[in-house]
Amino acid sequence: MIAEQTLTEHYIRVRAHSEAICLGLETEDYVVQPIADVSPPKWHLGHTTWFWETFVLVPNAPNYRIFHEDFSYVFNSYYETIGKRVLRTDRGNLSRPTVAGVYAYRAYVDEHMSHFLNTSDLSPDLYALIQLGLNHEQQHQELLITDIKYILGHNPLFPAIDMPLTNPSGHKRLNAREERTITIPEGIYSIGHQNSGPDAGSFYFDNELARHKVYLNKTTITNGLTTNGEYLAFMEAGGYQNFRYWLSDGWAWVKNNGVQAPLYWHKIDGEWWNYSFAGLAPVDLNEPVCHVSQYEADAYARWTGQRLPTEFEWEAAAAQLSWGARWEWTNSAYLPYPGFTTAEGAVGEYNGKFMSGQIVLRGASVATPEGHSRSTYRNFFQPDKRWQFTGIRLIVE
Amino acid sequence: MIAEQTLTEHYIRVRAHSEAICLGLETEDYVVQPIADVSPPKWHLGHTTWFWETFVLVPNAPNYRIFHEDFSYVFNSYYETIGKRVLRTDRGNLSRPTVAGVYAYRAYVDEHMSHFLNTSDLSPDLYALIQLGLNHEQQHQELLITDIKYILGHNPLFPAIDMPLTNPSGHKRLNAREERTITIPEGIYSIGHQNSGPDAGSFYFDNELARHKVYLNKTTITNGLTTNGEYLAFMEAGGYQNFRYWLSDGWAWVKNNGVQAPLYWHKIDGEWWNYSFAGLAPVDLNEPVCHVSQYEADAYARWTGQRLPTEFEWEAAAAQLSWGARWEWTNSAYLPYPGFTTAEGAVGEYNGKFMSGQIVLRGASVATPEGHSRSTYRNFFQPDKRWQFTGIRLIVE
Amino acid sequence: MIAEQTLTEHYIRVRAHSEAICLGLETEDYVVQPIADVSPPKWHLGHTTWFWETFVLVPNAPNYRIFHEDFSYVFNSYYETIGKRVLRTDRGNLSRPTVAGVYAYRAYVDEHMSHFLNTSDLSPDLYALIQLGLNHEQQHQELLITDIKYILGHNPLFPAIDMPLTNPSGHKRLNAREERTITIPEGIYSIGHQNSGPDAGSFYFDNELARHKVYLNKTTITNGLTTNGEYLAFMEAGGYQNFRYWLSDGWAWVKNNGVQAPLYWHKIDGEWWNYSFAGLAPVDLNEPVCHVSQYEADAYARWTGQRLPTEFEWEAAAAQLSWGARWEWTNSAYLPYPGFTTAEGAVGEYNGKFMSGQIVLRGASVATPEGHSRSTYRNFFQPDKRWQFTGIRLIVE
Amino acid sequence: MIAEQTLTEHYIRVRAHSEAICLGLETEDYVVQPIADVSPPKWHLGHTTWFWETFVLVPNAPNYRIFHEDFSYVFNSYYETIGKRVLRTDRGNLSRPTVAGVYAYRAYVDEHMSHFLNTSDLSPDLYALIQLGLNHEQQHQELLITDIKYILGHNPLFPAIDMPLTNPSGHKRLNAREERTITIPEGIYSIGHQNSGPDAGSFYFDNELARHKVYLNKTTITNGLTTNGEYLAFMEAGGYQNFRYWLSDGWAWVKNNGVQAPLYWHKIDGEWWNYSFAGLAPVDLNEPVCHVSQYEADAYARWTGQRLPTEFEWEAAAAQLSWGARWEWTNSAYLPYPGFTTAEGAVGEYNGKFMSGQIVLRGASVATPEGHSRSTYRNFFQPDKRWQFTGIRLIVE
């Protein structure tokens, strides 16, 4: 009985955080989609709601009536199992349902979900599905923050808004005197979620399994993240003009897109500024660099004569590292662990189908909601993406 | 003194109509841009306001202070003379300025314009510029209507809204018994705006000059527009499947875009429906066909064994025609009349630079504001465009 | 009897000229297609042969056996009536049939055609079809020359070859003292092919009909073409950098393609050179400018304060003009004359279907074969094309 | 002294094989480039020659004069260190230098190389560079074969030619009774080139280093490759129609390209045929499937309930496997081994810069020249590529 009440409360708290992220928005900010990667905030709010309605309420809640029959078409995303989906790039063309309509949808589903959670004996499968739904909503909370930043940061008015980030200060790198590196010895390490012992029963995504053994050489990793000041030195040394530092795909990306600095940086009257939720301000040289692609991270590492860690090196060292300010690019492709299996049904489409062409990021960022990070978490994006709060940690050799 | 008062009133009435068109919109409807041709409604409202501020108030109104220095960047359109413009396809990515901000901009400029008009002795040039501004705003009123229709008509919820159209009923074609054709004899006709006599002093665009002589053969033109029922017969006869009816560019357009019917038509359970501001409804076979490209109009004409009129034939017959329900595709390219000259300065960019690759449409439509149509008016679009209220009139030979 | 013999001889002479154009080519030069507009020379040689085989021999020559059943697929062009065609951009990917194979195809068809022409009583329709085929082959002779020039002129080795041009010298503009302008008075002019009187029975394309009356204002036209030197003055005055001189589409074309000079011009160590069949050489300032788009022709005319002629003005003045060095851009869209009708069948696709989006050029060029020019000839290309031998003549006002 | 003589002979033998591959070609076949991935055969012949001239003769052979100064521009490929390169997609637009010119270039360079090799004391670095050049030429020999196949296999005449493949028969899969699987036990395996012991001094690419330890679970791998018959069963079970079998990127690739079968397969009158150098013939159900992308290999594996091997599993089992008929797709991204370092200078660009977005293939194919395969060889392509002789081996779990 206690457990179910706690679950309801947890559900309500997670759902409320999605809305808290949007408190500073104008109605218009909810609607636009400046690039295909960035979804309109109202879509995130609707899509996460559609998840609860479609996967929990419709199959399990007796007499539940769906809120609006066209919403499934509008708010579906990549779950190809469930009907025809709206083309992803079209999301920003839909003025209806309105923002008010989406909030009404949320309220309706939340009311039914609360009732359902309070009155049902959940099977283990259903309990697991609800945990998945909560983590799914938390993933979209981070996307909400990054997408809102993109929308406002590409507006010529550069609006400032309040945004509830996680420990947004305190992530500056320790100064040079205190800087440490961490060395892990050569040997066999166990990687992936530990499904027994103290972590048994805690949440994990399917891609964190199976826990398996990896042989690593002796590795030394920096405890601090690369700062804006360090990255600026790379820029001023001609880093974006010299193909030698770049992967072939990365160099093509730089040339085709005219890239000259991290995302959100602007050179104004000879000085570098960048956009944050506080508005445009001069670049803080002591902050960890943010919004770089893996191509940029890799080029920076080569310029320093170092390299990016693999995801295995990162996880092996994680317990000794300060992490959480930036998603840290690894040089590991996002591929299945030995023994990885896919769940049945629509939910099983979740992770495995993306195991091609993407790079693993480890850690967490100031946009990651509390309770949604762990050292075995495998985030993943294509190497050219940089609208997430991405940063750089180096292996020193 | 009377004249200036009347001008202020006219200004206020025109400006109010732009806002009346938007009365049925939700805030979200003002923001999106589903295709490059369709601008967000708030952009139209801002751009027309920017015209008054930039061309009238800033150079002429003493002590006028611009409303917001970034608005010129946001609301400029094709006037390359005036600073860097926002790329046209990016208009739908801008959530700010908000809709409320745009209305505040309108109110601010309207107040200053009213004061200016009430207190100034207008030079002939300035008077002409204000007339141009009023006609410019009226052009955007028609675009507002067509763009709103596109936004709502491509939304899966197909919303219905109130929209003040011009004589939206009453444009059905006369029935067969009453149908007439009009024949004009071979000879020399004068084409273009008559800058003297009864029309002297009335407004015209530069592209309606110079009035010049054209030699026409004897021509017979239908008084009625092609109806949905007649067009459906073309469709059912395989019109979209047979290249013989199509111009080469038109056939490529059909194939590349999978075109099978006029815009806004949907085949649902074997029946054709179309979207209007009243929502989805079965196609009314007696209404003039609407939202066809010139390629479709031309193909339909060939299928019937007839052809489209030239703009000269149309104008020569205009006094005897019933027109005003649809913009009527001609088979005339949009080119300068003999003696056409371009005005100096930014306003001079208005029409001449578009005299390449476009087709003249004559008449007016249910979306054309009152007082903005005349028989010498030359509207123009590329031959593949069909989000305007375009229709078909035939020459019978 | 005489007539048929003469026709055979004429056939042989026209066919031989196609091959004479290619005498200087290496086998490799016959194969490539650097842009979609430029067909491989072997394709032209095969396509013109396919015309004779398909339209003359197969339906008319008893017991004729086609040379190779797949050649129809390979060498068809835009005649959609006749089976599936090879996508135009794929022509340059086909190494087979070989060049030797194409010449064998030509020899085989020529032998059968000679026999057929020598032994048949030709109906008037068939006689007309053969005239059409000869003119069709002559059109491809000009394309052969322009396409070969494009292929060699875009090769980093800039090869020089012998090429039989028509009066390639002697087309320099008269010097200033002798320069004349020609003025035609206001009035009614008859335009188009005269199907009776002295021209009755001479060849014409369907688009030169119907002869019709046009009312023209008094017009003064230059007798000389714009020279390289005059065009260079436009370039040095910033012509390519100032949007004011350009049509909107033209300015977009300049920007998107980084256009800075006519085709084949190269700035080498501060001097302008251009490529001709004699190889790279310094630009001759006295030659008529060549390889300009209509956008460039129009911009140049605006910069001088003049304008391009309409095709009607050109034809009305033609008898008094020196023409033939360059195809001269008009400012007339390629549209049907009053009374234009399309022939039945595949041959009827010839001209009418292209009457959209193209501009009329008048005159002829150094690449036009002898006997293929007349003052009523309507050549047509999109306004951005400039790989033909195109030039500029002005109306002085 | 013996060693140098042997090296000259080896050089001559390798160089001769490149030309032997092209013996069956017509001149025209050397010229075309139907897609960006496929280079014209004459380009391969020129580019490999340019390698010797640029990296060996110019810096080392006294008094060597380059054959033609523009050839460096034409035949450079991805070595950005060495001047401006021809855009890769433009290679098929160059009719000059001619095929005869390229063979003259080869003869000239071969003569100077032979003389140089016969008369020089080679430093260890230069000896290594020559080994690299020979292996580079062998890589292009395989590309010559695959590119020629693409050119002829996409020609509507489907020409048959003689082509010297490596053991082109004998690669059929053993029949079911004899079929074996190989199991390797859990444990630590050493992966990569062994730079000491018996393999010391043998050639390797930089990407095969450093030899390092990998921990593998117990794995069972099939000895036979997937046959055409087995793959056809996947096709007939709707494999290309069901997104569940596909990676997300793979499904998009299937949809965007309308993929329905391996490359070179054609359904003719209800039967599957495929193109080989012998021409079009019915698919041989017992041959190993060929010309599949990694997306297809992965989807097939999922459909069977199995998976692709990692490159580490493959290498650990290699000594017990029959391999060499097809390049075998792994599910390993092409990434640096621990301790990988890049050589200095242009040659150092060779492999490392491509370590992004590509997949490792192991083994060799019927197009791989003799002496160019070993169990540590890491071939790599993007997962959508399938014009190489690629096939499928499964891990059974």
Question: Among residues B133, B140, B135, which one has the least CA distance to residue B193?
Answer: B135
CA neighbor of D82 nearest in space, from D72, D69, D92, D93: D72
- Whole-number pLDDT of residue D278: 96
Q: What is the pLDDT of residues A42-80, one digit of tens each?
A: 999 999 999 999 999 999 999 999 999 889 888 986 555
Cite the DSSP H helix spans in D76-194. 99-119, 124-153
Please judge whether A213 and D214 are an interchain contact, meaning their C-beta atoms are less than 8 angstroms apart: no
3-state SS of B12-39 is HHHHHHHHHHCCCCCHHHHCCCCCCCCC
Which residues on chain B place their C-beta less than 8 Å from a C-beta of chain C? 78, 80, 188, 212-217, 243, 246-251, 295, 298, 307, 331-333, 335-336, 338-339, 353-357, 383
| A301–chain D nearest CA distance, Å | 13
Is the CB of C26 less than 8 angstroms away from the CB of D74?
Answer: no
Å between C332 CA and nearest CA of chain B:
8
Q: Which of B27, B28, B74, B86 is most worth mutating to test chain A (most A CB atoms within 10 A of its CB)? A: B28
Which residue type, as a one-letter code, is found at position B109? Answer: V
Q: Which residues of chain D have pLDDT under 70?
A: 1-5, 77-89, 168-178, 344-350
Evaluated on CA atoms D245, D251, D253, D259, the torsion sign reads positive
Could you tell me if D167 and D368 are in contact, meaning their C-beta atoms sit under 8 angstroms apart? no
What is the tens place of the pLDDT at every residue in A160-195? Answer: 999 999 875 555 554 444 478 999 999 999 999 998
B contacts of C252 (beta carbons < 8 Å): none
Per the listing, tokens 């762990």 go with: A374
Cα nearest neighbour of C75 on chain D: D156
Which span out of A343-347, B197-201, C139-143 was modeled with the highest average pLDDT? C139-143
Query: Which tens digits make up the pLDDT trace of A258-315?
Result: 999 999 999 999 999 999 999 999 999 999 999 999 999 999 999 999 999 999 999 9
Residue A331: predicted pLDDT: 98
pLDDT band at A95 (very low <50, low <70, confident <90, very high): very high
Comparing CB atoms, the residue among C80, C295, C356 nearest residue B250 is: C356
Q: What is the pLDDT of residue B3?
A: 52
b/e code D307-329 from CB counts within 10 Å (16+ = b): bbbbbbbbbbbbeebebbbbbbb
Which chain B residues are Cβ-neighbours of C214 within 8 angstroms?
A: 215
Give the pLDDT band of residue C2 (cuts 50, 70, 90). Answer: very low
Query: D187: distance to nearest CA of chain A, Å?
Result: 9
Subunit contact A335:D333, Cβ cutoff 8 A: yes
Nearest to C93 among D26, D90, D154 (CB): D154
Q: C-alpha angle with apex A61: A59 to A64, nearest 5 degrees? A: 95
Burial class (CB in 10 A: 0-12, 13-18, 19+), B393: buried
- Model confidence at C88, in pLDDT bands (50, 70, 90)? low
Which residues are registered as beta bridge partners of C227? C288
The pLDDT value given to residue D264: 97
Class of domain B176-396: alpha beta
| Nearest by CB: D214 against A215, A250, A339 | A215
In the sheet that holds B359-363, the strands lie side by side as B379-381, B359-363, B327-333, B390-391
- Shortest alpha-carbon distance between residue D12 and chain A (Å): 33
Q: Is D69 exposed, middle or buried (0-12, 13-18, 19+ CB in 10 A)?
A: exposed
List the domain boundaries for chain A: 2-153, 176-396
CATH 1.20.120 fits A2-153, yes or no: yes
Chains touching C (at least 3 CB pairs under 8 A) are B, D
Neighbours of chain A (3+ CB pairs under 8 A): B, D
Alpha carbon A276 to chain centroid, angstroms: 17
Amino acid type, B280: L
Of A95, A155, A157, the CB nearest to B28: A95
The pLDDT value given to residue B78: 55
pLDDT digits (tens, 9 = 90+) for A125-173: 999 999 999 999 999 999 999 999 999 999 989 999 999 998 755 555 5
Residues in chain B within 8 Å Cβ distance of C215? 188, 212-215
Q: Name the minimum distance, in Å, from the CA of D89 to any CA of chain C.
A: 10
Do A389 and A366 meet the contact criterion of CB atoms below 8 Å apart?
yes
For residue A87, count other CB atoms closer than 10 A to its CB: 9
Which of A28, A74, A84, A99 is the mutation pick for testing B, counting most B CBs within 10 A?
A: A28
* CA proximity to A170, closest of A286, A57, A11: A286
A touches C (3+ CB pairs < 8 Å)?
Answer: no
Mark yes or no for CB contact B98/A159 under 8 Å.
Answer: no
- In this prediction, residue A88 carries a pLDDT of 56
Across the interface, which of D215, D247, D356 has its CB nearest the CB of A213? Answer: D215
Are residues D359 and D334 in contact, defined by beta-carbon separation less than 8 angstroms?
Answer: yes
CB-CB neighbors (< 8 A) of A70 in chain B: 156-157
The 3-state DSSP class for residue C229 equals helix
Of B53-57, B183-187, C73-77, C371-375, the poorest mean pLDDT is in C73-77
Of B151, B145, B153, which Cα lies nearest the Cα of B45? B145
Contact A314, A323 (CB under 8 A): no
Contact between D360 and D393 (Cβ < 8 Å): no
Q: Do C155 and D30 touch (CB under 8 A)?
A: no
Q: What is the pLDDT of residue B176?
A: 46
Residue carrying the six token digits 């040394």: A237
Q: Is D345 helix (H, G, I), strand (E, B) or coil?
A: coil
C-alpha dihedral, B68 to B70 to B73 to B75, nearest 10°: -40
Rounded to 5°, the CA angle D233-D238-D242 comes to 135
Partner residues linked to C271 by β-bridges: C268
Nearest by CB: B157 against A30, A96, A99: A96
Return the DSSP state at D179: -
Measure in Å the smallest separation between the Cα of B91 and chain A Cα atoms.
9
Q: How far apart are CA C191 and CA C208, in angstroms?
A: 9
Q: What are phi and psi of B209, to 5 degrees?
A: -115, 160
- Return phi, psi of residue C296, to 5°: -70, -40
In the block, tokens 């294509």 appear at A382
Can you say how many angstroms the Cα of residue C366 is from the centroid of all Cα atoms in its chain? 10
Q: Two tokens at C236?
A: 């040095």
Contact between D249 and A357 under an 8 Å Cβ cutoff? The reply is yes
Q: Which of B321, B293, B311 is nearest to B390 (CA)?
A: B293
Task: For A39, name the nearest residue in chain B, comparing CA atoms only.
Answer: B93
| Closest chain A residue to B74, measured at CA | A156
Instruction: Extract the tokens encoding A187.
Output: 């040997």
Give the closest-approach CA distance of C347 to chain B in angstroms: 12
CA distance C394 to C389: 17
What average pLDDT score do residues C208-220 get? 97
Residue A1 is predicted with a pLDDT of 41
**Per-10-residue mean pLDDT, chain B, length 397:** 71 98 98 95 97 96 94 74 56 94 98 96 94 96 98 94 79 55 97 85 91 98 95 98 95 96 95 96 96 98 97 97 96 97 67 93 96 96 98 94
Distance of alpha carbon B86 from the chain centroid? 22
Q: Residues of C with CB below 8 A from D38's CB?
A: none
Residue type, position A183, single letter: T
Pairwise CB contact (< 8 Å): B249 & C356: yes
pLDDT of residue B198: 75
Residue of C397, C382, C384 whose CA lies nearest to C302: C397
Res. A2 pLDDT band, cuts 50 70 90:
very low
* Alpha carbons C103 and C115: distance in angstroms, whole number: 18
Residues of A in contact with D216 (CB under 8 A): 338
Query: Number of CB pairs < 8 Å for A and B?
Result: 91
Crossing angle of helices C248-257 and C294-304, in 10° steps, is: 120
Task: List CB contacts (< 8 A) between B295 and chain C.
Answer: 356
Who contacts C368 (Cβ-Cβ below 8 Å, separation ≥6)? C138, C142, C166, C324
Contacts of B151 in chain A (CB under 8 A): 93, 95
Apex C37 CA angle, C33 and C40, nearest 5? 30
Instruction: Name chain B contacts of A34, Cβ cutoff 8 Å.
Output: 90, 93
Our answer on whether B and D touch (3+ beta-carbon pairs < 8 Å) is no
Calculate how close chain D gets to A357, using CA atoms only, in Å: 6
Q: Does residue C333 have a pLDDT over 50?
A: yes
Q: Determine the residue among D25, D26, D27, D28 to mutate to test chain C binding: the one whose Cβ has the most chain C Cβ atoms within 10 Å.
A: D28
Distance from CA of A233 to the nearest CA of D (A): 23
Q: Which chains have at least 3 CB atom pairs separated by less than 8 Å from chain D?
A: A, C
Q: Are B45 and B103 in contact (CB under 8 A)?
A: yes
What is the model's pLDDT at position A77? 67
User: Residues C331-343: what's their mean pLDDT?
Assistant: 93
Inter-chain residue contact A156 with B73, CB threshold 8 Å: yes
**Residue D76: both structure tokens together:** 């450079």
Q: Is there a contact between A152 and B96 if contact means CB atoms under 8 Å apart?
A: yes
**Cβ atoms of C308 and C297 closer than 8 Å:** yes
pTM: 0.94
Neighboring chain C residues of D157 at a CB cutoff of 8 Å: 70, 96-97
B371's torsion region: left (phi>0), alpha (psi -120 to 50) or beta? Answer: left
Work out the number of other CB atoms within 10 angstroms of the CB of residue D285: 15
Q: Measure in Å the smallest separation between the Cα of D25 and chain C Cα atoms.
A: 10
Instruction: Say yes or no for a CB contact (<8 Å) between A356 and D243.
Output: no
Q: Round to whole Å and give the CA distance between B256 and B247.
A: 14
Nearest to D248 among A213, A249, A353 (CB): A353
